Structure 1
Amino acid sequence: MDTIWWVLSIGLMLLGVAGIILPLLPSTPLVFAGMMIIAWQQDFQTVSGYTMLALAAIAIFASALDYIAGAMGAKVAGASKQAVWGATLGAILGIFAGPVGLIFGPLFGAAAGEYYATRETVKAGKVGIASWLGMIAGAIAKIGLVFAMLGIFWLAYWL
């Protein structure tokens, strides 16, 4: 029976790592679920509940990056409130449009929101690009956080 749990756990973690690149897979929740199964299966003896709480906090933060990074990039560029909402809405709606929507949703959402607010095409374009760069920075940070989660978990497991 232990083998089934291990295969399921490792499979979830690998699927979660793949979800960093494949947009329709929830990467950090899958990685965390795989970790939780191993910790639970061993009654939190090898990996403590405190470690799992810390990993849960990292997973929640990493998941939130998907939705707020583009909006933060727009905000840094001096975007209007409408552009920030547009970037957020673009990121959320981009999920349903597949990879292209995920990549360009915040850009188009921020640009549309800024254009709606100011009617300035050049500023709307700059805000859209800043939103997109924020999203890219968020994705890079998320990759780092997922691998940090994996490192913390396996260090806790083996030490």
Structure 2
Amino acid sequence: MDILLYALSALLVLAGLAGTVFPALPGLPLMLGGLLLAGWVGDFQQIGAVTLSLLALLTAIGLAVDFVAGLLGAKATGASRQALWGAVIGSVVGLFLGLAGVILGPLVGAAIGEFLARRDVYQAGKVGLGTFAGFIVGTVAKIGCAFAMLATFALALVF
């Protein structure tokens, strides 16, 4: 039974790694769940409270940076309130349109919101690209947190 649970744990971690790149999957929470499951299967002998706390902290940091990065990218280009709401709405709608929708939804939503607010195509495009840049920064931060989680887990197993 332990082997099956370790296999499930590994699958959750792999799905989580994929989710750091593909925004439709909750990558870091899946990884945390997989690592927590592996610790539980091992009766928390090597993976204790300190390690689990660090893993949870890295998950929270990665999620927060991912969320804030897109907004800051839009805000840095002078986005209006409507553009920020457009990015949020575009993110939600994009979830239903596959991978391209998830990636392009916030960009298009921010650009549409900015255009509706200011009727300036150049500014709308600039805000859309700023939102996309924020998305890229957020994705890189999530990937960094994912590898930091793996390193933390591996070090806890070794020491």
TM over 0.5: yes
Compare relative contact order (CA 8 Å, sep 6+) and give the higher one, 1 or 2: 2
Tell me the equivalent position of 1:4: 4
- The 1:92/1:64 distance shift into structure 2, 3 A limit, reads farther
Normalising by structure 1, report the TM-score. Answer: 0.91
Matches within 5 A, 1:84-103: 84-103=84-103
Residue segments in structure 1 that go unaligned for 5+ positions in a row: none
Does the CA-based 8 Å contact 2:66-2:137 persist in structure 1? no
Task: State the 1:65 CA deviation.
Answer: 4.1
Normalising by structure 2, report the TM-score. Answer: 0.91
Task: State the 1:92 CA deviation.
Answer: 2.5
Tell me the equivalent position of 1:147: 147
- The 1:66/1:93 distance shift into structure 2, 3 A limit, reads farther
1:109 matches 2:109: yes
**For residues 4 and 108 of structure 1, what CA distance do their matches in structure 2 show?**
43
Residue segments in structure 2 that go unaligned for 5+ positions in a row: none
The aligned length equals: 159
Q: Which range moves more in the overlay, 59-68 or 73-82?
A: 59-68
Q: Which range moves more in the overlay, 30-39 or 20-29?
A: 20-29
1:17 matches 2:31: no
Does the CA-based 8 Å contact 1:71-1:106 persist in structure 2? no
- The 1:69/1:60 distance shift into structure 2, 3 A limit, reads same
**For residues 97 and 65 of structure 2, what CA distance do their matches in structure 1 show?**
19
1:137 matches 2:137: yes
Paired residue secondary structure (1:47): coil
Q: Which range moves more in the overlay, 9-18 or 54-63?
A: 54-63
Tell me the equivalent position of 1:70: 70
**For residues 129 and 11 of structure 2, what CA distance do their matches in structure 1 show?**
36
Residues 81-130 of structure 1 show CA distances to partners (whole Å, capped at 9, x for unaligned) of: 11112112212321221111111111111111111111111111111111
